[in-house]
Amino acid sequence: MNNNNKFFITTPIYYASGKPHLGHAYTSIACDVLARWNRDIGKEVFFLTGTDEHGQKIVENAEKINKSPKEFVDLMVPQFKQLLTKLNISNDYFVRTTDEDHKVFVSKMLQKAFDNGDIYKGSYEGLYCVGCEKYVEEDDLLEGNICPDHKKECETVSEENYFFKLSKYEDKLLKFYEETDFLKPKSKAQETINRVKEGLRDISISRSKDKLEWGIELPFDSTHVTYVWFDALFNYMSALENNDKMDFWPCNVHMIGKDIKWFHEVYWPAFLMSVDMQMPKSVFAHGMILDENGHKMSKSLGNVIDPLKFSKKFGVEEFKYFLITGGSFGEDMNFSEKMFIEKVNNELNNDFGNLVSRVHAMTSKPFSEGMPEIGELEDVDKELISSISIYEEFNSLMQNLEYTKAFTVLWTAIRDTNAYVNKVSPWAESDEKRLGTIMNVLCSACIYFGKYTNCIIPSKTELLFKQFNVKNNNKFEVEFLPAGHKLGAKENLFERIKLEKPAVEVEKPREGFAKLNLKVGQIDEVSKHPDSDKLYIIQVNLGNEKRQIVSGLQTLYTLEQLENRKVIVITNLKPAKLGGYDSNGMILACEDENDCGLLSSELDVGSNLKVGSDVADNEKIINSKAFKKVEMFGDENGKVSFSGKEVSGVSVDKKIPGKVC
């Protein structure tokens, strides 16, 4: 039984069917930060990660390169391990679902669930997506039974399967959610609860060996192998048992991406209930990393970021810091080189690195022979110490996985310390005793901050401790340096990163086609063009930026009608000059021969619009040279559709049926 001093955290096990990518790096880093933090505050931590190695996709990918499935995964797994090493991830164990002891454990669990009457044989006919490794409902697919995530046609599968009685656990699961903090973040819990309330159907947990051999054999029927999720989820326990660490169960945090919530929040606790195991304490579903325009990263969009290359170029710890603090952890996060560089330069280099380097320089020079005895603290010193004493708040935010908030609290303390430096102006202090006290407060504050940053930028923190010539004792209080203490040599923590590319990059059409990026904006200001009776000069707020757009709306809307109006803007057009004024984007409207109505939306300013089933579809439809082929129409009810699919959250003012332009 996991006592309070034990902390067990897991990443999902990664599909070994392809190369490791940014998503894998993200989940691993998100776990690493909390594992390190908990070690630092004195907990005994077991941090587990690994690879998910069974299933059809592995078989298919292995065939492509003429390998057996086992040979194939043996080639892939070192790449995942290498990612962990390069990112300095502090996992305690790496589990593989092809490990013999894992297979034995899963087999035991299958037998137990079977003996408890939760597994039965039935026939299944339905669609299977190899990419998701799951059975799918037709309603969730695009035309032609195409999986919206993998853009591949799903296979019709008709076979005798073993089923798990998920339906039996509906009430138990709902009760469990209500009584515990299992579903995290809390803001997303209701989604799962509502779906479970809609009813649970039993799930197929096996495939017949004539269809798929690459899996763990059912102990009660050797002609079947278990379907990947029953196998994969039990890694969280098999790894403990096989390491003699069952006293770490129940798990504290299963960190996952929101795309695999259902399996972890519904299947997993139900499987555990079936085999009479204790429930994990929480599953935390983080958001996805999207590109700067809010698009999923995918090879076909050409916006993929390779975690190894990126961190090699800009620094592993800078990369980690941005992933953890660059969005609102738990929500989807936009990732771009420009956002990364700005944040790292401002926060790591300016706020933190410069503070440490200034304090070191201002101390080592006058006190090269050692620190003087600390004098009496003045109010200004006491105020600083009290404002930077953040342990309770920081720890509770971290344990609640509110990383972004936790680091905001820490950075506020760092900024307060910079403000203190300016206030007490050590460079102008002529009283040596007072200067000694000020510099002692400042050195101690820097060392204190090192104890917090150790969980995210540990090698930088090591340099920090080294230059102040102290060891990290993990005492989260401001401790003054003793009289006579000598600082170590100066170390540079961060380099300022130069922005090589232009600040705003306009998407270039590829092969004659471009993506269409639509955003909800709000008109902040409108004025008439001085020399035109058609054009308005409009300032639009797009959430994270403001843009000037020149638009021919004068004959259609008055200034008052436009002010504060929400509009839909195409954000990735090349900036142009209209009537001599810069115009950066296009406001969408729907027109017929006589009139024109603006498109609007209920969604928040700054929201990216998903058009059709996936933004990637736009590529096929939009001719970038002139937006002549925009197949977007408004109807008489004010609804807008794109390529036959309704665009949710968008409506046409004046309800003019016609083409969007």
Alpha-carbon dihedral 532, 535, 536, 538, rounded to 10 degrees: -130
Nearest to 638 by CA among 619, 657, 614: 657
User: Which amino acid is present at 507?
Assistant: E
* Separation of alpha carbons 28 and 34, rounded Å: 10
To 5 degrees, how large is the angle CA 287–CA 291–CA 293? 110
Q: Active-site residue among 81, 112, 150, 258?
A: 150
**Min separation Cβ 290 and ligand MSP, Å:** 7
The verdict on whether 264 is a catalytic residue reads no
Q: How far is the CB of 286 from ligand MSP (least distance, A)?
A: 7
- 24 catalytic, yes or no? yes
Q: Of 226, 290, 281, 235, whose CA–CA distance to 258 is shortest?
A: 290
CB 334 within 8 A of CB 409: no
| CB nearer ligand MSP, residue 262 or residue 391 | 262
| Residue 67 · residue 75 · CB < 8 Å | yes
Q: How far is the CB of 393 from ligand MSP (least distance, A)?
A: 27
Among 524, 457, 456, 464, residue whose Cα is nearest residue 492:
464
Identify each DSSP E strand in 149-205 by its residue range: 155-164, 183-184, 203-204
- Cα–Cα distance measured from residue 84 to residue 634, given in angstroms and rounded to the nearest whole number: 50
How many other C-beta atoms are found inside a 10 Å radius of the C-beta of residue 112? 17
Q: How far is the CB of 564 from ligand MSP (least distance, A)?
A: 35
286: annotated active-site residue: no
Shorter beta-carbon distance to ligand MSP: residue 238 or 345: 238
Least distance (Å) between residue 273 CB and ligand MSP? 17
Q: Which is nearer to ligand MSP, 14 or 182 (CB)?
A: 14
Q: Is 596 a catalytic residue?
A: no
Contact 48, 93 (CB under 8 A): yes
Instruction: Please state the closest distance from residue 78 (CB atom) to ligand MSP, in A.
Output: 16
* Residues near ligand MSP, by CB under 6 A: 12-15, 22-24, 26-27, 52, 232-233, 235, 256-257, 259-260, 288-289, 297
In the residue annotation, 295 being an active-site residue is answered as no
Selecting among 108, 151, 296, 659, the annotated active-site residue is 296
Task: Note if 485 is an active site residue.
Answer: no
SS3 of residue 107 by DSSP: helix
CA distance 242 to 357: 47
Nearest distance in Å: CB 362, ligand MSP? 42
Q: Which two tokens stand for residue 435?
A: 């200067």
φ, ψ for residue 524, nearest 5 deg: -90, -45
Nearer to ligand MSP, 218 or 233 (CB): 233
Q: What are phi and psi of 6, to 5 degrees?
A: -100, 145
128 CA to centre of own chain: 27
Query: At closest approach, how far in Å is the CB of 305 from ligand MSP?
Result: 9
Q: Output 404 or 651, the one with its CB closest to ligand MSP.
A: 404
Which residue out of 54, 102, 132, 134 is catalytically annotated? Answer: 132
Q: What is each CA distance from 120 to 107, 113, 257, 377, in whole angstroms?
A: 16, 10, 31, 73
Q: State the sign of the Cα–Cα–Cα–Cα dihedral 205, 208, 212, 218.
A: positive
Give least dist CB 301 to ligand MSP, A.
12
Does residue 299 carry a catalytic annotation? yes
Residue from 6, 54, 129, 245 carrying the catalytic annotation: 129
CA distance 22 to 257: 12
Position with the least CB separation from ligand MSP: 257
Which of 323, 537 has the CB closer to ligand MSP?
323
Catalytic hit among 21, 224, 245, 286: 21
What gap in Å lies between CA 448 and CA 190, rounded to an integer? 39
- What residues contact residue 333 under an 8 Å CB cut-off, 6+ apart? 287, 288, 289, 290, 323, 326, 327
Comparison of 22 and 609: residue with beta carbon closer to ligand MSP? 22
Q: Which is nearer to ligand MSP, 334 or 472 (CB)?
A: 334
- Counting Cα atoms < 13 Å in the Cβ hemisphere of 168 gives 15
The reply to whether 31 belongs to the active site is: no
**Closer residue to ligand MSP in complex, CB, 19/496:** 19
Identify the active-site residue in 31, 57, 147, 261: 147
So which residues are the catalytic ones? 21, 24, 129, 132, 147, 150, 296, 299
